[in-house]
Copies of this chain bind each other. A is one copy, B any other.
Amino acid sequence: MSGATPGDAPATHGVPATIEQVAAMLRARGERMTGPRRAVLKVLAERDEHLSAEAVLSRVAAHDPGVHRASVYRTLEALSELGVVQHVHVTHGGTAYHLVRDERRHLHAQCRSCGAVYDLPADLLDDVEADLAHRHGFHLEAGHVALSGRCRSCFEQLSS
């Protein structure tokens, strides 16, 4: 028995619910759980938002100013490779990160005008994905970049 909170599954794979589960996943690959990594996970878990690396940094820094920018970038990359974090490329300011949650799988759309990022149903592009795979051999990963366009209010503003 480990020191995991009662009710936790061992979870050395799949979508983890606690920091200790992520720690186990890291150790299973010969990697380690550290202060900065814990801090980044906490920030991502606190809010269900799409945070830029810089936004993660400043929230981490609020509680622990010692954590360096480079460590945040390296942590986000490590957690992405683990499959615990997903990153989405957006056009405005780089890359957005969030925890992977089974219940919350979704796609992204970004407004070209105001930069806001919206969540879309996960299955929106399923048909297109199948079509691309069969007809072109291209394996779409639809969640990896935000679709671009105009949100309702920006669109109306353009017409007026």
Residue A89 is within 8 A (CB to CB) of chain B in the complex: yes
Bound together, the chains give a CA A155 to CA B127 distance in angstroms of: 19
The A interface, classified by DSSP as helix, strand, loop or mixed, is: mixed
Residues of B near A128 (CB, < 8 A) are 124-125, 128
A150's contact among B91, B131, B138, B151, by CB below 8 Å, is which? B138
Contact of B149 with A144 in the complex, beta carbons under 8 Å: yes
Residues of B near A29 (CB, < 8 A) are none
Interface string of A104-143 (1 = CB under 8 A from B): 0000010110000010100011011001100011111110
Residues of B near A109 (CB, < 8 A) are 132, 136, 138, 140
Contact of B141 with A150 in the complex, beta carbons under 8 Å: yes
Bound together, the chains give a CA A15 to CA B160 distance in angstroms of: 25
CB of A124, distance to nearest CB on chain B (Å): 6
How many copies of this chain?
Answer: 2
Residue A148 is within 8 A (CB to CB) of chain B in the complex: yes
Residues of B near A22 (CB, < 8 A) are none
Contact of B112 with A138 in the complex, beta carbons under 8 Å: no
Q: How many residues of A contact B (CB 8 A)?
A: 30
Contact of B149 with A138 in the complex, beta carbons under 8 Å: yes
Contact of A132 with B120 in the complex, beta carbons under 8 Å: yes
Most buried by B among A124, A145, A155: A145
Besides A112-B141, A145-B145, 5 more A-B contacts (Cβ < 8 Å) are: A120-B132, A138-B151, A139-B155, A141-B149, A145-B147
